[in-house]
Structure 1
Amino acid sequence: MRAIQFDEIGGPEVLKVTEVPVPEPGPGEVTVDVAYAGVNFADTKARATGYRVPSLPFRPGLEIAGRIRAVGAGVVGLAPGEQVAALTPEGGYAEVVATPASFVFALPDGVPLRVGATLPTVLPTAHALLHEVGRLRAGETVLIQGAAGGVGLVAGQLARLGGAGGVYGVVSREEKVAEALKYGYDEVFVGDGFAEGVRAATGGRGVDLVLDPVGGDTLRRGLEALALFGRLVSFGNASGAEAWQAGQPELYPRGLSVAGFSILTLAQTEPEALRALAERSFALVAQGQVVLPITAEFPLGEADEAHRLMETRTTTGKLLLSLG
């Protein structure tokens, strides 16, 4: 079968189509004939910096949709031929993928495979950030970094569904503002001046909850944008900055809180919690309450082009690889 892997850390050109053996499911595993694979920022970071790469060669890819090919010993509730979406700790850019059964979710009726490939990382992440970790309450205000990206577009909609009193976003480019505004946002700010924009939009109060995948100085500005007793949830470090620290000087005066979340870590440590998140959030897509636009699709052999496009930071929504 064909798979994408890289033998060295580097630019998109290190991604190569390789012939590899078709995997067989081990105990507790499922193999999936992949129809679509999601392309994520974490994939580009793995290729460019070695993020979460234990050894080389390495196959990127964190999420897929397709049909179950075979199930391993001990797997219950899943059967060959079933349409599923799945997390793949690695190796999703391949025609057949083996992954733990606890990472595999039956697609709700009416959700096509193409849409299914957008769900495994984005939907549970956005839901957890707002409700489980961020503990959003009706009437509260939210600020979401990366508002035009996959998580950002979904989080804007979920915040609105959750009764938020104000939903504000931050994007890196002016041309992304209009796209974000279609998906639940009241106002979208561009670039590093968002803290001042938030203060103006909230009458000087600030927001109750900030969601931050950027880290570094952006995270510190997010703390400045919080209201009294506000919460910030970190779920990435796209800036590549040194690990941040927040302590008494930043948190004590206004009773601020900082929390963190990683969907991949949750999948490995609390798979049943992940399944509950997936079921709740996938249902919203099946019901038509949440949508995630697919803005570009590439054949498997053009994974390098998908990475090039993502690294321009001009994209919105979701990028996919098609293997059908």
Structure 2
Amino acid sequence: MTTNGTANVLQPQDVISPKISTPQDILIRLCAVGINPIDTKLRKRGTFYPEQIPAILGCDGAGIVEAVGSNVSRFQVGDEVYFCYGGLGKKGTGNYAEYAVVDKRFVAAKPQSLSFAEAAAAPLVLITAWEALYDRGRLEAGRRVLIHGGSGGVGHVAIQLAKLKGAEVCTTISSAEKAAFVKNLGAHPINYQETNFVDAVNDWTEGEGVELAFDTVGSENLEKTFAAVQLYGDVVTILSPSETINWKEARSRNLRIGLELMLTPQLTHNLDAQLAQTKILEQCSRLIDQGGLKIHLHQTFPLEKAAEAHQLLEAGGMTGKIALVMN
């Protein structure tokens, strides 16, 4: 993108291939890249580094190690890897491309049971759901969880992570098809277009409310959710709370509010937090290969059709994730 705006600002261009510049760099030949809502937001409003335009978007990537720096021993040429790094507008990063250079510390071995497209669609949503439920929400076995948007990219992963922890899960959806999808993941579906989700949650919990609610929708949905959470419960959101939100219900219930932004480690250059996210990817890779965690890929597009992929994501209503694939 050479400017911000509609999806059409994404145009194929030839650029100089990135080169290894430090001993711990890895050159990766990208085979696929995940598309995330943060990509469309940065495209519309501008990146975190507007002075470094033009920019290549794309935080998530999966591919094959092409070359390694002199201080890299954990990976070798030919290894299959996946990661979440770059794509926020900083010069020399971004994965809507054929090659990327990434620090070895932020790369994990790709789950062998996933295709490159599935693996590329996974990192950001895996880290987001993991941090939201396990770190912010302090989820424990036996607890009841409400996950909003359970058929979406973050939502369908969150359901599975909650179930792996031994929790009971209900989730909001908008169609019979999506209800069947989340049921297959082990969640109780609540069609928010047909019923008041707060009433449905309270019925499901016999009037007690859930111990943890995970908001992936934002806006007025966060405020409505307070009434579905039991006293001293937790609410975690991945969206910025509105300035007009009424916190009275949350305060009267003594709710603990958690904010989750998985991009914080990159934006603040917090190495410890970045290393922790790499460990999450490593653990998730094992869970995926053991059959305990699946990534639902809705559709793929060739790299040069990135604008069409953005249009599909912004249209809403899809299940799971989408990805770009390289020839």
Q: Do they superpose with TM above 0.5? A: yes
Query: For 1:19, what is the secondary structure of its paired residue?
Result: coil
Q: Does 1:227 align with 2:230?
A: yes
Matched, 1:179 2:176: no
Match of 1:308 in 2: 311
Aligned to 1:21: 16
Once the two structures are superposed, the pairs formed by residues 65-80 of structure 1 within 5 Å of their partners are 65-80=62-77
Instruction: Give SS of 1:93's match.
Output: coil
Could you say if the C-alpha distance between residues 10 and 275 of structure 1 is closer, same or farther in structure 2, counting changes exceeding 3 Å?
same
CA distance in 1, matches of 2:20, 2:239: 31
Contact 1:46 1:53 in 2 (8 A): no
Decide whether the 8 Å contact of 1:154 with 1:183 is kept in 2: no
| Structure 1: 5+ residue stretches without partners | 1-5
1:35 maps to what in 2? 31
In the TM superposition, what is the alpha-carbon distance from 1:243 to its structure 2 partner? 4.8
Note closer, same or farther for the CA distance 1:184–1:257 as it changes in structure 2 (3 Å cut): same
Distance 2:173 2:86 in 1: 28
Q: Distance in 2 between matches of 1:135 and 1:246?
A: 25
Q: Give the TM-score, by structure 1 length.
A: 0.89
- Contact between 1:32 and 1:69, CA under 8 Å: does it hold in 2? yes
* Structure 2: 5+ residue stretches without partners: 88-93
1:250 deviation in Å? Answer: 4.1
Give the Å deviation of 1:48. 1.6
Partner-residue secondary structure (3-state), 1:281: helix
The percent of aligned pairs where both chains have the same amino acid is: 33
> Residue type matched to 2:81 in 1?
V
Aligned residues: 314
Q: 1:230 to 1:189 in 2, by over 3 A?
A: farther
| Greater alpha carbon shift after TM alignment, 275-284 vs 18-27 | 275-284
CA–CA distance in structure 1, aligned partners of residues 78 and 56 of structure 2: 25
Q: Residue type matched to 2:196 in 1?
A: G
Q: For residue 205 of structure 1, what is the aligned residue in structure 2?
A: 208
1:233-284 CA distance string (max 9 Å, x none): 12234xxx7457676x444432210112222223542122112211222211
2: CA distance, partners of 1:141 / 1:323: 41
Structure 2 SS opposite 1:17: coil
Q: Secondary structure of the residue that 1:307 maps to in structure 2?
A: helix
Partner amino acid for 1:47?
A: R
Counterpart in the other structure of 1:114: 117
Aligned to 1:99: 102
Name the stretch that deviates more: 294-303 or 123-132: 123-132
SS of the aligned residue for 2:196 comes to: helix
Alignment partner, residue 260 of structure 1 = 259
Deviates more, 1:90-99 or 1:126-135: 126-135
- Separation in 2 of the partners of 1:288 and 1:266? 29
CA contact (8 A) 1:119 1:282 kept: no
Show CA shifts across 1:5-63 (max 9, x none).
Answer: x1222111111001000000221322210001101111111112225353422211010
SS at match of 2:50: coil
Instruction: Give the aligned CA root-mean-square deviation in angstroms.
Output: 2.1
TM-score, structure 2 normalization: 0.88
